[in-house]
Amino acid sequence: MRSTILNLEASKIRDVANAGLGRDDVLAFWFGESDEATPDIVRQAAIESLRLGETFYAHNLGLHELRHGIANHMTQKHPGPNGLGVAADRVAVTAGGVNALMLAVQALVDAEDDVLVITPVWPNLVAQPRIMGANLRTLALQAVGGRWQLDLDELLAAILPQTRLLILNAPNNPTGWTLGQVEQEAILRRCRETGTWILADEVYEALYFAPTENACAPSFLDVADPNDRLVVVHSFSKSHLMTGWRLGWLVMPPAMTQAMGKLIEFNTSCCPVFAQRAGVVALQHASEITPRVVSHLKICRDTLVGALQEVPGLELSMPLGGMYAFFRWPGHDNGVIMAKQLVAQAGLGLAPGEAFGPEAAGWLRWCFASKEPQRLLSGVDRLKSWMKL
Amino acid sequence: MRSTILNLEASKIRDVANAGLGRDDVLAFWFGESDEATPDIVRQAAIESLRLGETFYAHNLGLHELRHGIANHMTQKHPGPNGLGVAADRVAVTAGGVNALMLAVQALVDAEDDVLVITPVWPNLVAQPRIMGANLRTLALQAVGGRWQLDLDELLAAILPQTRLLILNAPNNPTGWTLGQVEQEAILRRCRETGTWILADEVYEALYFAPTENACAPSFLDVADPNDRLVVVHSFSKSHLMTGWRLGWLVMPPAMTQAMGKLIEFNTSCCPVFAQRAGVVALQHASEITPRVVSHLKICRDTLVGALQEVPGLELSMPLGGMYAFFRWPGHDNGVIMAKQLVAQAGLGLAPGEAFGPEAAGWLRWCFASKEPQRLLSGVDRLKSWMKL
């Protein structure tokens, strides 16, 4: 096998979670997934499609109806600087957000290309360019008093003429860091100068807790033109409680779409029609499903982060977006050891910061997507006991 | 975008099929897909899973139950030279056969690696190593009197010490060429000498029409040891009428499995649980579903190939495996032009040989997986009229 693949880091989240396998006394908050099943109306759409026998190959880029549904959904949220919105010919349906990211990296990154990733971040974003043989550089956010921040000047200086691709995820997993429109404009301006592509993982855009007009976090689609070198990745997983469906999409410049169709053919061929039918219905009901998810998540966030902020010695901030509390206990600098001890000694399952980048060593990620907010408080009690408070 | 990706050949099958879009008077046989929906009992398993709310992430490598089901299924067919069969820890569940192939290529092929592919072949097998930046060589089968054959000595000489990967598909799409056990042994022996990996696309193994003990074509699993550098790819698509589900698997050496789990995480994360439940039931009923599919396909094959062999001037042989008739009309050397004319002038949809390799220029592929064999004969009538016979 390729040494590149052998050297890909195994998930430190799985590493910790494996230590708790088979223990039903563990309160697990390690994975980025709600514990609520997909809404019934969405499941029914897939069931009906299966009943009808829609079990054949579909178009590489997705069902016409779903691509147009996505385009309308995105246009409502992001009319863009010229009001052009997102045309359906810029949309491809993919086997989840992670697959959309991988396809974009395949489309853009040659071996030895210079690729810049902002970290801490979901480890898949770092692994994908590595699989393609890229020369990877990371630029770390800085934690100041529990809040992770971007040094914009440092980022702009790190985007070089030879930089092929900038990869970022905001609202960010795990830190909750979000980008503002002024920052996005500055980054786009710099990338236009250098010819650098931007791959923006915006799957958490709808899980945004600040009051806004379009009910979502700032997006690169708000500042870019359709032909900019920008790929924006989305997923039904978080905003529609559809993690297990493996259904997502990407928005790209129209000139890229034909090649993306080929890449989908060579990676997965297409997404199942019955899953796409569920996606169509999920978007039709987005104005019921997502606000309910978000308002419940906000209660979860306020409950968990509020309680953690009252724990003496912990350092964290209230995240504006996403579904994670990210915190540390100063003086305790090994998150993997802490997370393993928390599983073994306290029955509390968290993800170690090290999974997301070395600069997050000693931090812990807590997914607060929980049907029962009381479950989060029980977790905080376990944490406090373990801390001997 | 990468020039590698821009230069990937667009499907010549799609090119021809697009010319017939929106015409319901075309008898279409261009795609490799039965026109029969997935058996009801398999669909019901997915429906039940959806009803139960199994809409969460699954293990990267697949459900325990499905991996063991696959391992048992493969062991029954392929106990192997030492009777060890296929252990479940050598199995990964993937988003279709094509995804299994792409994952294997990602695991094995660095940019600039020497990769050898036997053609004519399904174009995805050539595109995947190109995406990874490989130096690709092809070795062409030779057509003798309508039958495509491998020059074994030529192949053995073409496998060099620097050859990283040999990719082959037998029973072959489009030619129906199959490999015999003696040939497989010789290829394996040579690849052991050179350290070359074998990626064997055996998705058509069960669609085999010669009488055999295990009801399938010879497999590299019959001659290899578990630790050989061999990846064998399978799919539920053809043998279980499940094209649209995007569900397949690969069998690999046990030492590769952990890394494969990482690659799946970074490509698609996992396959939907409800689709995997359908896969479990499909295997439980394999002894009913697949023989029915195969005996019907045999009728289709005999009907179509028998009729084509009676058409004066056509050159073709009876394929031993697969679901395609592959033929030519000597003196007519441009399959793309012929296929486009057949759509436009005769309402007959076939795939041009050029889609599968330059050595197949002028050939035409006809998928005979049709619920109604009479439909195949109507197609032959259209062909004959067009040939002015």
pLDDT digits (tens, 9 = 90+) for A321-375: 999 999 999 999 999 999 999 999 999 999 999 999 999 999 999 999 999 999 9
- Cα(B209)–Cα(B221) distance, integer angstroms: 19
Nearest to B277 by CA among B111, B82, B51: B51
Nearest to A43 by CA among B262, B85, B332, B54: B54
Chain A residue nearest residue B5, CA to CA: A107
pLDDT at A17 exceeding the cut of 90: no
pLDDT at A103: 98
Instruction: Note the pTM of the prediction, 2 decimals.
Output: 0.97
Q: Are A322 and A171 in contact (CB under 8 A)?
A: yes
Chain A residue nearest residue B9, CA to CA: A262
pLDDT at A389: 83
Q: Do A55 and B47 touch (CB under 8 A)?
A: no
pLDDT tens string A104-157: 999 999 999 999 999 999 999 999 999 999 999 999 999 998 999 999 999 999
pLDDT tens string A218-248: 999 999 999 999 999 999 999 999 999 999 9
pLDDT at A372: 92
Mean pLDDT of successive 10-residue stretches along chain B, which has 389 residues: 93 82 87 90 98 95 97 97 96 98 98 98 97 98 95 98 98 96 98 98 96 91 98 96 97 97 96 98 96 95 98 96 96 96 96 96 96 96 95
Domains and CATH numbers, chain A: 3-38+288-386 (3.90.1150.10), 56-286 (3.40.640.10)
pLDDT at A263: 97
- Cα(A140)–Cα(A126) distance, integer angstroms: 13
pLDDT at A275 exceeding the cut of 90: yes
Q: Do B55 and A38 touch (CB under 8 A)?
A: yes
User: What is the interface pTM, i.e. ipTM, of the complex?
Assistant: 0.96
Q: Taking the CB of residue B312, how many other CB atoms lie within 10 A of it?
A: 7
Residue by residue, what is the 3-state secondary structure of chain A? Answer: CCHHHHCCCCCHHHHHHHCCCCCCCCEECCCCCCCCCCCHHHHHHHHHHHHCCCCCCCCCCCCHHHHHHHHHHHHHHCCCCCCCCCCHHHEEEECCHHHHHHHHHHHHCCCCCEEEEEECCCCHHHHHHHHCCCEEEEEECEEECCEEECCHHHHHHHCCCCEEEEEEECCCCCCCCCCCHHHHHHHHHHHHHHCCEEEEECCCCCCECCCCCCCCCCCHHHCCCCCCCEEEEEECCCCCCCHHHCCEEEECCHHHHHHHHHHHHHHCCCCCHHHHHHHHHHHHCHHHHHHHHHHHHHHHHHHHHHHHHCCCCCECCCCCECCEEEEECCCCCCHHHHHHHHHHHHCEECEEHHHHCHHHCCEEEEECCCCCHHHHHHHHHHHHHHCCC
pLDDT at B22: 73
Would you call B205 helix, strand, or coil by DSSP? coil
Q: Do B246 and A271 touch (CB under 8 A)?
A: yes
For residue A25, how many C-alpha atoms fall within 13 Å in the half-sphere facing its CB?
A: 7
pLDDT at A21 exceeding the cut of 80: no
pLDDT at A32: 85
Cβ-based contacts of A109 with chain B (< 8 Å): 2
A31 — pLDDT class (breaks 50, 70, 90):
confident
pLDDT at B170: 97
Close Cβ partners of A211 (under 8 Å, ≥ 6 residues apart): none
Nearest to B107 among A1, A33, A272 (CB): A1
Nearest to B95 among A112, A133, A268 (CB): A268
A50 — pLDDT class (breaks 50, 70, 90):
very high
Chain B residue nearest residue A240, CA to CA: B55
Across residues A176-187, what is the average pLDDT? 97
Q: Do B273 and A55 touch (CB under 8 A)?
A: no
pLDDT at B136: 98
Q: Which of A14, A38, A55 to mutate to test the interface with B (most CBs of B within 10 A)?
A: A55
Nearest to B242 among A47, A55, A102 (CB): A55
- Cα(A238)–Cα(A320) distance, integer angstroms: 16
Chain B: nearest CA to A385, how far in angstroms? 31
pLDDT at A158: 98
Cβ-based contacts of B1 with chain A (< 8 Å): 107-108, 256, 259
Tokens 């099958």, residue located:
B13
Average pLDDT, chain A: 96
Chain A residue nearest residue B123, CA to CA: A266
